């Protein structure tokens, strides 16, 4: 042990000290020859059956090295033993029953062989079991993601734990099923959750079938998750970009509207009500749109948004509040109504013009404040107009004989008054006056170029109009019958691997008594030659001891001496000596065997088959009967002629 050689600075070790006179004071207690400190825990200590490592009386944690072996102490100081440990960098260690990590050796743990390097880290690749979870090591570290082991594919979480009993997509989007022991099915058929699947040599699912992935139903097709429109068991589905199917919702695609059931299939050949609106779905599940439907002997019409029309006109056809076409109802149109010797014009919505002009078939008509058609002369805003007494048509531009007098109307139907028209004079009442006095003057002739409007020349002919019809396509009439189909199956040989369990055998050994020698060190102390007492190691304690002897009238000598200080007394410890390490043994409970099982290729099922009672047919409906119409035939179109003439600048008379 290292010696403690503390030095007393002011004491001459070989001389004698004598005080000049005794000092009156109480006798001081004698100092003991040595001081024994309380024992401080250090090194390995077993408490309540668990091992701890103390440093200066404090439990150590984390990695510790002892006797060239690695140990790991948990946060509470307990030593890891008989278990795997994955370090923060992914390195893997195994601690023996007595705590030390395997090092520079091969070891069989739970029936599997492992190699450990000089740093105690596991080498190579192998499976380990920790906390009931399986981990795959790769190059001595925990593997993650998709991994291949002995020809089988596995998936490991980000923390390295192995997945099992679930569907999963690989990095390329291929679908695989991880069985109970973690490996993906391959080169076989299997029934999972009541559905049959086939897997190829690459572990891809090859048949088209539904799978439950991430809590939602998705369709496997060509080994991948299907998207878009898909048909399954004669039902139409729509699968989103992530493969999830639409359900309990409406969906518009290509301008067509679809509705999906709670289990995903689209409605078809049926009525559907949503938001108080009614729809009808085709056999292809698309909602009717801009078309008629005959259902239960009644006709219905569906608008551009696919909603059933109600209480409205579709062309010349009326559908009532329930959407049913009422054949007997005539569509209102604009038309003349005669009442006695008077007429009025009713619009399609029932309204009529009052106290205003209206153009009907290109002709102007005037209606009074009550809506009756005006005939004869009518003064409006100090301007006179004339409406034919029979037809009510307003006279237009030109000369008109009315009640034996000739009048001139401009293009707006306004009567000319007190003015010259082409050399003819009309007075204040609008009448043409022959040889008026204001013609008696000397004409001042001026030459002008004039455009003469020649009216059209025409005659009346009879035009025959054929009947107006439309074609109604009647859908076929049919009903559904139920056809039962038996299941389709075949026999396959299923290989069952051996079934067993692991038996853990504890380590074998014995306890032996190990004797630990006392632990001590020496210190240089100052010893009184008179009484042999340890005078301490400070000037104060030495002086105090001298004073004690001086009080007794004694002089003393003193000297240095090495004194043994015991740090820990000798003790015996019971130590476990392992003669055989703990090991795991795999015991076979049932040998491997082959079983002939029936594989259902297609379960028994019932099919609704459409039976056509009456083929679709086409019906021609007459909307308007044939009729003859009197029409004006133009023999010679109106035309303008440019002439040169001399006109009186005073009265406008044309020189003959």
Q: Flag whether pLDDT at 107 surpasses 50.
A: yes
Question: Using CB atoms within 10 A of its CB, is residue 506 exposed (0-12), middle (13-18) or buried (19+)?
Answer: exposed
Tell me how far apart the alpha carbons of residues 330 and 168 are, in angstroms, rounded to a whole number: 65
**Model pLDDT for residues 162-195, shown as the tens digit of each residue:** 999 899 988 888 999 998 888 899 888 888 888 8
Tell me how far apart the alpha carbons of residues 499 and 90 are, in angstroms, rounded to a whole number: 32
pLDDT at 3: 37
**Model pLDDT for residues 121-153, shown as the tens digit of each residue:** 998 888 888 888 889 988 888 889 999 988 889
Q: How sure is the predictor about 373, in pLDDT bands with cuts at 50, 70 and 90?
A: very high
Mean pLDDT, the chain, rounded, equals 82
The set of residues, in sequence order, having a beta carbon less than 8 Å from that of 596 and lying 6+ positions away, is: 491, 492, 493, 494
- Find where tokens 């594919």 sit: 153
pLDDT at 454: 80
- Find where tokens 């090991």 sit: 583
Supply 393's token pair: 């048509």
DSSP 536-577: -SSHHHHHHHHHHHHHTT--B-EEEEEEEEEEE--EEEEEEE
- Candidates 400, 435, 429, 405; CA nearest to 417 is 429
Residues 182 and 175 sit within 8 Å (Cβ to Cβ): no
Supply 297's token pair: 């002997």
Overall average pLDDT of the 561-582 stretch: 78
DSSP 358-413: EEETTEEEEE-TTSPBP-EEEEETTEEEEE-TTT-PBP-SEEEEETTEEEEE-TTS
More confident residue, 24 or 322: 322
Q: Which of 170-179, 211-220, 472-481, 521-530 has the lowest mean pLDDT?
A: 472-481
pLDDT at 1: 36
Which of the residue ranges 266-280, 322-336, 527-541 has the most confident prediction, judged by mean pLDDT?
Answer: 266-280
Tell me how far apart the alpha carbons of residues 159 and 145 are, in angstroms, rounded to a whole number: 10
pLDDT at 650: 60
pLDDT at 435: 65
More confident residue, 606 or 215: 215
Chain mean position to CA 537: 82
Q: What size, in residues, is the chain? A: 656
Q: Flag whether pLDDT at 10 surpasses 70.
A: no
Q: Which of 3-12, 353-362, 451-460 has the lowest mean pLDDT?
A: 3-12
Chain mean position to CA 104: 53
Q: Flag whether pLDDT at 5 surpasses 70.
A: no
More confident residue, 52 or 522: 52
The set of residues, in sequence order, having a beta carbon less than 8 Å from that of 296 and lying 6+ positions away, is: none
Residues 408 and 377 sit within 8 Å (Cβ to Cβ): no
**Model pLDDT for residues 463-519, shown as the tens digit of each residue:** 787 878 777 787 777 766 777 778 777 777 788 777 777 777 777 777 677 787 888
Q: How sure is the predictor about 67, in pLDDT bands with cuts at 50, 70 and 90?
A: confident
Question: Using CB atoms within 10 A of its CB, is residue 519 exposed (0-12), middle (13-18) or buried (19+)?
Answer: middle
Model pTM greater than 0.75? no
Q: Flag whether pLDDT at 18 surpasses 50.
A: no
């Amino acid at each position: 042990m290292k010696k403690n050689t503390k030095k007393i600075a002011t004491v001459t070790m070989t001389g004698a000290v004598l005080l000049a006179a005794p000092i009156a004071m109480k006798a001081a207690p004698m100092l003991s020859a040595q001081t024994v400190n309380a024992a401080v825990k250090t090194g390995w200590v077993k408490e309540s059956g668990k091992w701890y490592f103390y440093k200066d009386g404090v439990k150590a944690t984390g990695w510790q090295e002892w006797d060239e072996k690695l140990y790991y102490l948990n946060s509470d100081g307990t030593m890891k033993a008989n278990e795997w440990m994955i370090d923060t960098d992914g390195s893997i260690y195994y601690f023996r029953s007595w705590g030390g990590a395997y090092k520079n050796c091969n070891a069989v743990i739970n029936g599997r062989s492992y190699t450990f390097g000089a740093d105690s880290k596991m080498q190579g690749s192998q499976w380990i079991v920790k906390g009931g979870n399986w981990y795959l090591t790769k190059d001595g570290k925990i593997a993650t993601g998709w991994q291949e082991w002995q020809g089988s594919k596995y998936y490991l979480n980000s923390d390295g734990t192995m997945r099992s009993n679930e569907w999963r997509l690989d990095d390329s989007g291929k679908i695989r099923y991880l069985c109970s022991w973690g490996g993906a099915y391959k080169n076989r058929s299997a029934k999972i959750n009541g559905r049959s699947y086939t897997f190829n040599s690459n572990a891809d699912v090859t048949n088209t079938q539904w799978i439950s992935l991430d809590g939602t139903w998705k369709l496997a097709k060509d080994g991948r998750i299907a998207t878009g429109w898909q048909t399954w068991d004669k039902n139409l589905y729509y699968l989103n970009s992530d493969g999830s199917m639409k359900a309990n919702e409406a969906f518009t695609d290509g301008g067509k509207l679809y509705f999906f059931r709670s289990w995903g299939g689209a409605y078809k050949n049926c009525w559907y009500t949503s938001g108080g609106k009614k729809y009808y779905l085709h056999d292809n599940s698309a909602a009717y749109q801009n078309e008629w439907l005959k259902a239960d002997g009644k006709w219905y019409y569906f608008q551009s948004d696919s909603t059933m029309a109600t209480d409205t006109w579709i062309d010349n056809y009326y559908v009532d509040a329930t959407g049913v076409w009422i054949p007997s109802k005539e569509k209102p149109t604009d038309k003349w109504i005669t009442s006695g010797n008077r007429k009025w014009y009713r619009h399609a919505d029932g309204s009529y013009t009052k106290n205003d002009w209206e153009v009907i078939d290109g002709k102007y008509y005037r209606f009074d404040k009550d809506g009756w058609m005006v005939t004869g002369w009518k003064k409006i805003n100090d301007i006179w107009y004339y409406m034919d007494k029979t037809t009510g048509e307003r006279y237009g531009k030109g000369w008109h004989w009315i009640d034996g007098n000739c009048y001139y109307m401009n293009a707006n139907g306004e009567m000319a008054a007190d003015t010259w028209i082409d050399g003819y004079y009309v007075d204040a009442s609008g009448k043409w006056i022959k040889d008026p006095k204001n013609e008696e003057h000397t004409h001042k002739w001026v030459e002008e170029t004039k455009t003469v409007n020649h009216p059209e020349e025409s005659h009346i002919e009879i035009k025959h109009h054929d009947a107006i019809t439309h074609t109604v396509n009647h859908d076929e009439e049919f009903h559904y019958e139920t056809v039962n189909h038996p299941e389709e199956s075949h026999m396959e040989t299923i290989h069952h691997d051996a079934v067993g369990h692991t038996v853990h055998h504890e380590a074998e050994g014995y306890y032996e008594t190990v004797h630990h020698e006392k632990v001590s060190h020496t210190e240089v102390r100052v010893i009184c030659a008179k009484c042999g007492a340890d005078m301490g190691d400070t000037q104060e304690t030495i002086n105090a001891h001298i004073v004690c002897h001086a009080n007794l009238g004694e002089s003393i000598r003193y000297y240095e001496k090495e004194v043994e200080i015991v740090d820990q007394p000798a003790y015996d410890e019971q130590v476990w000596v392992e003669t055989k390490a703990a090991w795991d043994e795999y015991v076979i409970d049932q040998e491997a065997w082959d079983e002939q099982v029936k594989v259902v290729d297609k379960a028994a099922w019932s099919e609704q088959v459409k039976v056509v009672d009456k083929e679709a047919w086409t019906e021609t409906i007459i909307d308007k009967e044939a009729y003859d119409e009197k029409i004006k035939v133009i023999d010679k179109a109106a035309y303008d002629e440019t002439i040169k003439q001399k006109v009186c600048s005073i009265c406008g008379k044309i020189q003959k």
